[in-house]
Amino acid sequence: VTALAEVMAIDAHTGSILWRQSVSAPIRSTPTVDHNRLYVTSINNQLDVFECSTGHILWSHMGITENAGILGGSSPAVKDGIVVAPYSSGEVFGLRHDTGMVLWSESLAALNRVDSISSLAHIKARPLIHKDKALVISHSGRTSLIHLRTGQTLWTKDIGGIHSPALSKGTVFMVNNNNQLIALDFETGRIIWSKNLPLTQGLKQDGERLLWAGPILTKEYLILAGSNGKIIFCSPKNGDIHH
């Protein structure tokens, strides 16, 4: 997918273009593939679904168009025939994978934000689906666990972020907007521990603070990448940084 509003299928061995389709707006998120279906979300909050083998469009779904948002977007997540489609408006929809019929919808927009940046409800982190539940994080300060089939909100925490979380043995690891690494219980939302990440390591002369992305979970560590071009290794047990 490209920022020129195009979707292409390319032969992995030869590089030849198998098919090419135009969509309604530029695309700044990665596509999702599941069972010969390609799910693509444009910056105008339109989800288009293509047949992978032919490029034939199967169905589309439209969210509320936002005039402002964070650069980049979230990819849909699919499991058991249900598509979890997040948008920059803070909306998240549960859709049937075969028809696009809406099964449920929820909004993760926070109502008590007053400044222009923190009020952006943009869902940039990819939804995390585990068993029959989906964890969705918005930039404006809401993290919710939603039942995949009913759309029931099982819990909500006042935690905002833009990075996709990691899950291991019932624990969710995420970086919030305040540069904290947080471990939550997936089923209850209880905060197990939180760790303030370095803000001044390798501080630039212009005073810009460090920002951290991740985490990626390995067997022993949580790995995060900093805006200073460095990575750190943190313990999944308590968030301590290993030097």
At 199 the pLDDT is 80
Kindly report the pTM of this predicted structure: 0.85
CA proximity to 178, closest of 200, 197, 206, 158: 197
CA distance 128 to 141: 17
Q: What's the pLDDT score for residue 103?
A: 96
The pLDDT value given to residue 88 = 86
How confident is the model at residue 124, as a pLDDT? 84
* CB 137, CB 125: distance < 8 Å: yes
Q: Kindly report whether the peptide bond that precedes residue 26 is cis, defined as omega within 30 degrees of 0.
A: no
pLDDT value for 117: 53
Tokens of 17: 């273009």
Of 128, 76, 136, the residue nearest 106 (C-alpha): 136
Residue 165 to residues 116, 172, 231, Cα–Cα distance (Å)? 25, 7, 17
Q: How far apart are CA 198 and CA 234, in angstroms?
A: 12
Angle (CA) 184 168 35, round 5°: 115
pLDDT in tens, the chain (243 residues): 998 999 999 999 999 999 999 998 999 889 999 999 999 999 899 999 999 999 999 999 998 776 655 566 789 999 999 999 999 888 999 999 999 999 999 988 766 655 555 556 668 889 999 999 999 999 878 899 999 999 999 999 999 899 999 999 999 999 998 889 999 999 999 999 999 998 865 545 456 678 899 999 998 999 999 988 889 999 999 999 987
Q: What is the CA radius of gyration of the chain?
A: 19
